[in-house]
A and B are shown apart, each in its own frame.
Chain A
Amino acid sequence: MPKLATLIRVAVFLLLVAFLLQPHWFEPLLRPLVQDNAPVIYNQGSLLQLTFLHLRTVALAVAAAALVALALAILVTRASGAEFLPLSRSLVNIGQTFPPVAVLALAVPIFGFGEKPTLIALFLYGLLPIFENALTGLTTLPPSVMEAARGAGMTGGQRLLKVELPLAMPVILAGIRLSVVISLATATIGSTVAAKTLGEVIIAGLQSNNLSFVVQGGLIVATLAVLLHDGLQAAERRLAARMGR
Chain B
Amino acid sequence: MTEQPIHLRIRRQDRPDSVPYWQEFAIRGRPDHNIVSLLMALREHPVTVSGERVDPVVWEHNCMEEVCGACAMLINGVPRPSCSALVAELDQPIRLEPLPKFPVVRDLLVDRRRIDQGLKQVKAWIKIDGVWDTHEGAPRIGPSEWAANYLYSRCMSCGCCMAACPQFGPHSAFLGPAPLAQARLMNAHPTGRYDKTERLHAIMADGGLSDCGNAQNCVRVCPKEIPLTTAIGELGRQTTVQLIKDLFGPR
On whether the two chains bind one another, the answer is no
Contact surface of A with B, Cβ cutoff 8 Å = none
